[in-house]
Structure 1
Amino acid sequence: MKRLFLWILGIIAVLAVALFLAFKLSPWPTVLVIQYAFGKGDAASEARLVKHVPSGIFTRTDLPYGTGPAEVFDLNLPPDATGPLPVIVWVHGGAWIAGSKAGVANYLKVLAGQGYATVGVEYSTGYGTSYPTPVRQVNAALGHISANAADLGIDPSRIILAGDSAGAQLAAQVANIITDPTYAGQVGIAPLIDPAQLRGVLLVSGAYDMQAATVPGGDMSWFVNTVLWAYSGVKDFVEDEQFTLASVAHYVTPNFPPAYITSGNGDPLSPQAERLAASLSGMGVPVSSLFYPADHEPALPHEYQFNLDTPEGMASLDKMLAFLRTTLASP
């Protein structure tokens, strides 16, 4: 019996060491836990939005824009849509390693109810996917949507690129690729739509400076280090020359498209959004922004805008729609 007990203890010790090494040598075991948590959060957000979705939205799901299993998108059209519509192409969040287009599906139906075509883009987030694959995929999705505009019922000359959280970073980076040939050359991705087609961007609760997100000893440092290690594919991602290009705030130019930018006052990423808005405004880029003072109560969390049961969530939606009307009406 004693020998059996020692044998069991030995197995437990080996498994414990193996588990410890797995978490130390790779970010992906921790990522699995994060992916599960994000999935729960997305489901709760979608459930809250159901009552805000207008009736009659026509939806086509899992339309391919490439050959990969994650290279699909959903299309929403308002009831009785006639003629080609301006399109909002939305890139979902999830810290670059989680989330899915299903997590923003109802919000995009709410926007479609305002007379827009809306597209939810899927991209790769699983094990083995690293930067800049999602950037290439979002660019490819735009190219496909533009090339197939007639079949989709959209106007390819009136594209809005949007995103939340990590999706906002991806949207901002792709927008910069489209509007700045020098930056596109540095990243090594040729844009698949013309700058004139991209009429504006919606950037919600995003991260735009990877270095600023990695504050040593911060409450979220373990989370940030894990997801950026996984996404960049490099443990020392701060020193990786190619990954520094993902800090799009350092590379924007006056050619960046008009932008709507918002973050909640309880969101640790809010300072990045505020700096980006100020930088773009200083360059003469038209910017509509919504930020709240630090002492606003209740403190608005990351992605507060998806909660349309709050006055702040509705205020963000109203200001977003006003931005869209103004931007899409401009020549």
Structure 2
Amino acid sequence: MRVFPLLIWTGGVLVVLAAAIAIAFVVSPWPSVLIIQRTFAGGDTASEAALEKHVPPGIVSVGNVAYGLGPDEIFDINYPPGAASQLPAIIWVHGGGWVAGSKEGVANYLRILAGYGYVTVGVEYSTAPGATYPTPVRQVNYALKYLLAHAAELGIDPNAIILAGDSAGAQIAAQLALLSTDADYSGKIGIAPALTRAQLRGIILVSGAYDINGLKLDGPFGGFINTVLWAYSGVKDFLNDEQFKLVSVTQYATAAFPPAFISSGNADPLGPQAVALATKLETLGVPVDALFFPPDHAPLEHEYQFNLDTAAGQEALDRMVDYLSATLAR
């Protein structure tokens, strides 16, 4: 006799729950971000496993060195075999759409780069929505300050720093390059740079986003882009937020920007962003080593460079190493 009332009650609960979930996706980026974080974690695990066989023997790694007091304010550092003197350092900012990812997701790639004779550092930072812009920029800048202050004991040449990053990390790294080379821009953000222009010898930017006005917010990836920028900015109307407009590196780049290696895949939705930044820098007279692929090349998706089992991934690594050698010799 009670079956029908129970079914009605259960159905009502499900309707209310479904409505609550739908509303949650509208009023907060958190539900979508949780899904994105799980997806990115799985991708990082697979990428790291595939790169393991490419890590050269003898790399010395030290993990979770604190550069600040926060739980996310840590870094990993890697040394080539037999490193006995201060070496140029590649400071890498991981990707993850500003809401996900971790330094563990680029750990093996940085070990591989260390094998070419560099100190490599994978910096962790807090992600959105828990930490909004410009928190990650401040944190990585503080990590740079720590690395410079402890350069002697860490085996780093403080006058041979290369900033680097992938995806969202490329945007953060590029913004730090602007901070380090443009006092007016630094003042607008309110972050005093840890690096001087003389110390910042170059920058590696792969699969990054550099201009929010150039993103297709209504395209196939529009939902994802809107979610992560809402989460990172902390405001739903992020396009009209005056402070958040400063994330658009391409709009603010100057001739003082460091020599850059820039690349993206030909099937990467962010590819046009990389091309636009490379073009702007070249117009300004900044030395740029750009690696792009023609439309008729086999499709190369976002973060193609981490797949060293492909010719394109290996080419990107080779070009990075050549760029590093040439840039540090200037």
Instruction: Report the equivalent of 1:47.
Output: 49
Name 1:227's counterpart in structure 2. Answer: 228
TM-score, structure 2 normalization: 0.98
Partner of 2:195: 193
What is the rounded CA distance, in whole Å, between the counterparts of 1:128 and 1:106 in structure 2? 27
SS at match of 2:75: strand
Equivalent residue number for residue 63 of structure 1: 65
Q: Report the Cα distance in structure 2 between the residues aligned to 1:149 and 1:283, rounded to whole angstroms.
A: 32
The answer on 1:250 being equivalent to 2:251 is: yes
**How much identity, in percent, do the aligned residues show?**
60
Separation in structure 1 between the aligned mates of residue 84 and residue 153 of structure 2, nearest angstrom: 13
What is the CA-CA distance between 1:126 and the residue it aligns to? 4.6
Q: Distance in 1 between matches of 2:296 and 2:212?
A: 26
Query: Per-residue displacement from partner, 1:59-98 (whole Å, max 9, x unpaired)?
Result: 1100011111000000000111011010000000000000
Q: Say which SS state the counterpart of residue 26 (structure 2) adopts.
A: helix
Matching residue of 2:113: 111
Range 145-154 or range 9-18, more displaced: 9-18
1:216-295 residue pairs with structure 2 within 5 A?
A: 216-295=217-296
Deviation per CA, 1:117-144, whole angstroms, max 9, x where unpaired?
0000000015421100001111111111
Instruction: Say if 2:326 is the partner of 1:310.
Output: no
Deviations 1:179-223 (A, max 9, x none): 00000011111101211110000000100001111x243100001
TM-score by length of 1: 0.97
- Of 169, 172, 178, which residue of structure 2 is paired with 1:170? 172
- Count of residue pairs brought into register by the alignment: 328
216 and 202 in structure 1: CA distance in 2 versus 1, 3 angstrom threshold:
closer
Which deviations, in whole Å up to 9, do the C-alpha atoms of 1:141-174 show, x marking residues without a partner? 1111011111111111100000000000000000
The match for 2:93 among 91, 94, 101 is 91
User: What is the RMSD of the two structures over their aligned residues, measured on CA atoms?
Assistant: 0.9
| Distance in structure 2 (CA, Å) of the matches to 1:265 and 1:126 | 28
Report the Cα offset of residue 233 of structure 1. Answer: 0.4
Divergent runs of 4+, >4 A: none
What is residue 324 of structure 1 aligned with on the other side?
324
State the one-letter code of the partner of 1:291. F
Assess if the C-alpha contact under 8 Å between 2:90 and 2:163 holds in 1.
yes
How far apart in 2 are the matches of 1:78 and 1:220? Answer: 39
Instruction: Give me the whole-angstrom Cα distance separating, in 2, the residues matched to 1:217 and 1:182.
Output: 33
Secondary structure in 2 aligned to 1:196? coil
For the residue of structure 1 that corresponds to 2:219, the secondary structure is: coil
Which shifted more, 13-22 or 3-12? 3-12
2-structure distance, mates of 1:318, 1:9: 59
Q: Is the 8 A contact 2:89 2:118 kept in 1?
A: yes
> How many Å separate the matches in 2 of 1:240 and 1:49?
40
CA distance in 1, matches of 2:85, 2:221: 47
- Output aligned runs, 1:198-213, within 5 Å: 198-213=200-215
Select between 34-43 and 126-135 the one with higher mean Cα deviation.
126-135
Structure 1: gaps of 5 or more residues: none
Amino acid at match of 1:269: L
| Matched residue type, 1:321 | V
CA distance in 2, matches of 1:10, 1:193: 59
- Provide the C-alpha distance between the structure 1 equivalents of 2:150 and 2:21, rounded to a whole number of angstroms: 48
Q: Distance in 2 between matches of 1:226 and 1:59?
A: 35
Question: 2:101, 2:212 → 1: CA distance?
Answer: 19
Following the alignment from structure 1 to structure 2, what is the Cα–Cα distance between the partners of residues 273 and 246? 14
SS at match of 1:295: coil
- Secondary structure of the residue aligned to 2:82 is coil
Which whole-Å CA distance do the structure 2 matches of 1:295 and 1:237 have between them?
35
Mapped partners of 1:20, 1:53: distance in 2:
45
Match of 2:127 in 1: 125
Letter in 2 for 1:255: A
| Aligned counterparts of 2:147 and 2:217: Cα–Cα separation in 1 | 41
**Match 1:80 to one of 79, 82, 102:** 82
Report the equivalent of 1:28: 30
- Conserved in 1, the CA contact under 8 Å of 2:56 and 2:115? yes
Letter in 1 for 2:23: L
Say if 2:182 and 2:256, in contact at 8 Å, map to a contact too.
Answer: yes
* Cα distance in 2 between the residues matched to 1:40 and 1:164: 17
